[in-house]
Structure 1
Amino acid sequence: MRSVIFDLDGTLADTSGDLIAAANVCFEGLGLGALLDPAKDAGTALRGGRAMLSLGFSRVDGFGEDEILRQYPVLLETYAKDIDTHTVMYDGAMDAVEALKSAGYGVGIATNKPEGLAEELMKRLGVRDAFASLVGADTLPVRKPDPEHLFEAVRRLGGDTAKTCLVGDSDTDRNTALAAGVPSILVTFGPSGEDMAALKPEALIDDFAELPSVVERLLAGA
């Protein structure tokens, strides 16, 4: 079976608002106020909790890696309690997923979000059942950009790792696809969209309506 594996944060859903809110709770707990801006720092939010903490602490003195390690569990706990207040699926995402499934593709998720949080978020958004697999940051001993993370998502849906493409929004996704030897499709509608072309993926899409035909072209010979 040919397969399409999606990143989650910044690709299928804009999760930045809830992530930044959780990080700001950490900063506020230290008496630092809200160090991150939901609009300006959305791109960093979609790179994960540690990236947000690092950015926030870079804006004040006296906090380093040790504090990032202390605050990361706090961030995860806070985020888990309020995971879907601001989060929305990108327009057309689920229409594209259903179109791919109707065309016979296996569809799954490979995310560097912890598996439990990813599962909970997708359930709350009402879309978990649309995906045949979900592999999170802690599902395996490795995570993206290690290709095994992608391959496991493909194997769990019964697909062929040689007949796969990865849809994402970051250099991590691009590097994962390169390591796996499969095509990457990067979305340009996220906060870091203007940077995607420089990563030279096999394809860029500005709208999820483009995805089924792009996938068909890239996997036509697979």
Structure 2
Amino acid sequence: MPDTFPLVVFDLDGTLAETAGDLMGALNHVLAGDGLPPLPVDQARSLLGAGGRALIRRGFASAGRPLAEERLEGLFAAFLAFYEAHIADHSHLFPGVVASLDRLEAQGYAFAVCTNKMEGTAKRLLEVLGVAGRFRAICGQDTFAVSKPQPGALLDTIALAGGTPERSVMVGDSRTDIDTAKAARVPVVAVDFGYTDRPVQDFAPDRVIGHFDALDEAVADLMARRSPEGTIAFKA
């Protein structure tokens, strides 16, 4: 599909931005409301990555407190309210993100975000961080009828951005991202500095990078491996 621009689809938390401090702050606000002690930020990498509701469930489990499912939506509303009021107290883009976007854009790439954050929250964070305008689509847990790791979340994000799966690459930091990309048959680059309780290499992404300086080469290599039929050979 020579007339279709290449697209890089990014996860957000732990991939584009270091957000653990603010997310854990919101979780600890919710835990404190139940009389539970705060969890340290260094536990974030084993708790984050599946959205706010999953974070609350995992936080209560880590604190040893059962959580009745009927309470979840109320706790999630409190979590969101606190988080949105403190959305970038500590959050920042990872080193090299903007320079990498600049280089890829100069080569003709477009960008999108597929996250398990709520869409409005994701857009607000990226606006505060100064990069929202770089993305053709910013899609969250509530954008479509499905969310990651369902492949439709990624495929619908690609479609909304005006791209095609055959000319797209996913960039993420967790098993959720890698499983999503594999199910959608889109190659995936994993960063090794994000939020995962196991080394990201364990989940067999197509490439692993330790800094955004290496993203351009990884994406170009995966794009170059497209077959004449327009598909890309990647790890099963």
Shorter-chain TM-score tier:
over 0.9
Q: 1:142 aligns with which of 118, 142, 146?
A: 146
Structure 1 equivalent of residue 157 of structure 2: 153
Offset of 1:193 from its aligned partner? 7.9
The one-letter code sitting in structure 2 at the alignment partner of 1:125 is L
How many Å separate the matches in 2 of 1:213 and 1:83? 32
For 1:127, the equivalent position in structure 2 comes to 131
State the Cα RMSD in Å.
Answer: 1.7
1:186 matched residue in structure 2: 190
Q: Partner residue of 2:218? A: 214
| Deviation of 1:191 (Å) | 4.3
Instruction: Say if 2:115 is the partner of 1:111.
Output: yes
CA distance in 2, matches of 1:193, 1:28: 24
Instruction: Normalising by structure 2, report the TM-score.
Output: 0.87
Matching residue of 2:234: none
Unaligned runs of 5+ in 1: none
> What is the distance in 1 between the residues matched to 2:66 and 2:6?
50
Whether the 8 Å contact between 1:92 and 1:209 is mirrored in structure 2 is: yes
CA contact (8 A) 1:188 1:194 kept: no
1:171 paired with 2:187, answer no
Which of 3, 16, 41 is the aligned partner of 2:44?
41
> CA shift at 1:194, angstroms?
5.5
**How many residue pairs end up in the alignment?**
221
> CA separation in 1, counterparts of 2:165 and 2:121?
25
4+ long deviations beyond 6 Å: none
Deviation at 1:157, TM superposition (A): 2.5
Q: Is the 8 A contact 2:49 2:174 kept in 1?
A: no
| Separation in structure 2 between the aligned mates of residue 63 and residue 83 of structure 1, nearest angstrom | 25
Relative to 1, partners in 2 of residues 1:61 and 1:160: Cα closer, same or farther, differing over 3 Å? closer
**Contact 2:151-2:184 at 8 Å conserved across structures:** yes
In the TM superposition, residue 149 of structure 1 has moved relative to its aligned partner by: 1.5
Deviation at 1:43, TM superposition (A): 3.6
CA 1:159–1:191 in structure 2 vs 1: closer, same or farther (change >3 Å)? closer
Q: Which of 53, 56, 74 is matched with 1:53 structurally?
A: 56
Aligned partner of 2:75 among 66, 71, 78: 71
Is 64-73 or 104-113 further displaced after alignment? 64-73
- Higher mean alpha-carbon deviation, 52-61 vs 19-28, is at 52-61
Q: 2:200 aligns with which of 193, 196, 199?
A: 196
Q: Which moved more, 1:67-76 or 1:94-103?
A: 67-76
1:16 lines up with 2:32 in the alignment = no
CA distance in structure 2 between the partners assigned to 1:121 and 1:67 by the alignment: 26
> Among residues 193, 199, 205, which one is paired with 2:209 in the alignment?
205
Kindly indicate whether residue 94 of structure 2 is the aligned counterpart of residue 86 of structure 1: no
Deviation string for 1:47-90 (max 9, x for gaps)? 33223322332223454433334311111111111111010111
> Deviations 1:142-174 (Å, cap 9, x if unpaired)?
111222211222222222221111000111111
Structure 2 portions without partners, runs of 5+? 227-236
Structure 2 match to 1:5? 9
Report if the CA contact (8 A) 1:144-1:150 is conserved.
Answer: yes
Q: Which moved more, 1:117-126 or 1:94-103?
A: 94-103
Instruction: Give the letter aligned to residue 210 of structure 1.
Output: A
Instruction: Quote the offset at 1:133 in angstroms.
Output: 1.3
Cα distance between partner residues in 1 of 2:68 and 2:150? 27
Q: Could you tell me the percent identity over the aligned residues?
A: 35
